[in-house]
Structure formats: C-alpha cells, structure tokens
C-alpha cells in the first residue's frame, strides 16, 4: 500500500520572494513526490524579486555572484507558471486577534481563540511549514500575527517548521499571547549574519523606494530571541549555514536553499532531529 503523499504549506511574501529560496527546496520536495500548497498574507499572487532571476547578479556584501543561470531559469519557470496563481489567503483563514481596548474584548478574545483552535485543526493535513525568504517578508510576514499563529499551530502539533533568510524573523516574534516568550528561546538557529547585511539598494516589489539597508539586524534579533541557553549560528565565512533543532529548521541565505529541502525530506522520512551544530 502506497504511503499518503506528504503535504507542505509554503508561505510567500506579496512584496517579493527570493527565487532560489523557493525553487531550491521546491525542486527537492517535488522530486520526493510531495505536494506543496502556497499561501500569502492576503491571497495575492507572489512574485520573485528581479535580482533573483537575473543570471550573474552580484551581491555586494558577499562580493560574489548569487544568482546562477540554473536557478535563475528555474525561478522564471515557476514564477511564470500557474503554480502560484491562486494561493491560500491567510487573512481569510486565520482570525485577527482583537485590540485590547476594543468593545467586548473578553468575548472577542474568546471568539478569536475558538476560531484559532479550528484553524489549528485544519493544519493537521500538512506535514511541514516552509517560509521562504527575501526582502519582502520583512514587510508582510515577520510581524504578521496571523502567520505567528500558523507557526504556533505547527508547533502545537509538533510538526516541522522551516524558515529561510529574513523569514527566520517570524520564529523570533512568534510567541504565545500570554507567555510572550519567543518559541526559539533556548534553541539553535541560523539567519542573516550582520556581516552580510545589505548597505544600499534593498528593494521590495510594489514600493518604489531604495531602503538603503535591511529593516533590522536579524542577527541581533535572533541572538536575543534564543537567549543564553540557545545559540545563534552565523556561519560567517562558510558557504552554507543550515541548522536543524527540531522542530525548527533554519537556513541563513540563498546557498542553503536546496539543503533546506533535502533536510526537510530527511526529517519527514527518516526522523532526523538535529543538523549543523
């Protein structure tokens, strides 16, 4: 009897994702026969950031090419296909937590938790969560309370939670509304090291502006979030930095993308619990 097909919930920004950070793991998941279901914050079709499908794109902080022809072409193929056309609308699925000073806050909060519990039950159909990086997530994913609740739901079910690049910030900010302690406190994670932060030219789709630098130093956020009992692994000077501290799988940047997919398969098929530290 054939095993049920694995199902992965993939979250993408509506302000631009980095191509390889989607297609790197996606190619591996496809080859494994997994089904990938896509979701965006408000149901808008996601698009790849232009540098991520520009062959030969030179990354100033790394001082090297980070978009090779293979992944540029694969990004274009996925980005122009029908695969991303009708993503799940997170805002239509998960409830918004009420304002503390809103009318009937007590009843509204009870209704919120009831609806969230129902959404958490919906998550049982998925085997893992994958949050794709790029500059876009800094706008509509990292401090998105609904997405935090998705993450908490996967954690509640003890299911794999993978995040790449700036999407790792979602893990730092996801926390129980009452306890308010980061879910990665005491854990091992990686993320964009400060040595590799962009100093000029950071852009996103849909906003005509040069933000000059990343919106925040992710390394500092992650170091504070993991606390003294955890550890941030920057992997500075190393080509890749990928850390698995189950149920959390984090990849620092573009070069980690395919390995993130490979480790997801290792976790789901062989029970891998730890990697990279």
Please report the domains of the chain, with CATH numbers, ordered by start residue. 7-275 (3.40.50.880)
pLDDT for position 28: 98
For range 119-134, the mean pLDDT: 98
pLDDT for position 62: 84
DSSP β-bridge partners for residue 11: 39, 131
Task: Using the predicted structure, report yes or no on whether residue 156 has a pLDDT greater than 80.
Answer: yes
For range 71-77, the mean pLDDT: 97
pLDDT for position 210: 85
Longest dimension (CA), the chain: 56
User: Which residue would you say has higher pLDDT here, 201 or 112?
Assistant: 112
Distances (CA, A) of 195 to 30, 110, 159, 239: 33, 45, 32, 13
Instruction: Give helix 257-270 / helix 19-31 axis angle, nearest 10°.
Output: 30
Q: Give exposure, 113-141, as e/b (b: 16+ Cβ within 10 Å).
A: eeebeebbeebeebbbbbbbbbbbbbbbb
What's the rounded Cα separation, in Å, for the pair 95 and 115?
A: 7
User: Which residue would you say has higher pLDDT here, 200 or 7?
Assistant: 7
Distances (CA, A) of 37 to 6, 30, 125, 127, 237: 11, 12, 11, 11, 34
Q: With bands split at pLDDT 50, 70 and 90, how would you rate the model's confidence at 13? A: very high
Closest CA to 61 of 209, 169, 217: 217
Lowest mean pLDDT among 64-68, 147-151, 261-265: 64-68
Lowest mean pLDDT among 35-44, 91-100, 191-200: 191-200
DSSP β-bridge partners for residue 58: 65
The chain-wide mean pLDDT, for the chain, equals: 95
Q: Give exposure, 237-272, as e/b (b: 16+ Cβ within 10 Å).
A: eeebbbbbbbbbbbbbbbbbbbbbbbbbbebbeeeb
Task: Using the predicted structure, report yes or no on whether residue 2 has a pLDDT greater than 70.
Answer: no
For range 210-233, the mean pLDDT: 95
CB-based contacts of 183: which residues, under 8 Å, 6+ apart? 151, 152, 155, 171, 174, 175
Task: Using the predicted structure, report yes or no on whether residue 199 has a pLDDT greater than 90.
Answer: no
Task: Using the predicted structure, report yes or no on whether residue 164 has a pLDDT greater than 80.
Answer: yes
User: Which residue would you say has higher pLDDT here, 235 or 211?
Assistant: 235
SS3 64: strand
Q: With bands split at pLDDT 50, 70 and 90, how would you rate the model's confidence at 4? A: confident
* Chain position carrying tokens 């893990």: 171
What's the rounded Cα separation, in Å, for the pair 273 and 152?
A: 19
pLDDT in tens, 17-63: 999 999 999 999 999 999 999 999 999 999 999 999 999 998 888 88
């Amino acid at each position: 009897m054939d095993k049920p097909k694995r199902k992965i919930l993939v979250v993408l920004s509506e302000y631009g994702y980095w191509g390889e950070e989607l297609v790197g793991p996606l190619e591996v998941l496809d080859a494994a026969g997994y089904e990938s279901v896509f979701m965006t914050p408000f149901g808008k079709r996601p698009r790849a950031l232009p540098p991520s499908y520009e062959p030969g794109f030179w990354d100033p902080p790394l001082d090297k090419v980070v978009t090779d022809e293979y992944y540029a072409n694969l990004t274009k193929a996925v980005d122009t296909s029908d695969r991303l056309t009708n993503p799940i609308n997170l805002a239509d699925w998960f409830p918004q937590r009420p304002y503390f000073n809103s009318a009937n806050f007590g009843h509204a909060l009870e209704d919120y938790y009831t609806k969230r519990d129902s959404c958490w039950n919906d998550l049982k159909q998925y085997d893992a969560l994958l949050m794709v990086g790029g500059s876009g997530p800094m706008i509509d994913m990292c401090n998105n309370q609904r997405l935090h609740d998705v993450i908490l739901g996967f954690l509640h079910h003890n299911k794999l939670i993978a995040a790449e690049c700036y999407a790792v910030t979602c893990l730092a900010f996801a926390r129980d509304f009452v306890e308010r302690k980061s879910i990665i406190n005491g854990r091992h994670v990686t993320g964009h090291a400060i040595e590799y932060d962009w100093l000029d030219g950071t852009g996103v789709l849909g906003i005509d502006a040069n933000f000059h630098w990343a919106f925040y130093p992710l390394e500092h956020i992650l170091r504070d979030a993991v606390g003294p009992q955890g550890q941030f692994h920057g992997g500075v000077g190393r080509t890749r930095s990928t850390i698995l501290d189950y149920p959390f799988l984090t990849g620092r940047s573009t070069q980690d993308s395919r390995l993130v997919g490979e480790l997801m398969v290792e976790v789901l098929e062989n029970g891998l619990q730890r990697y990279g530290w």
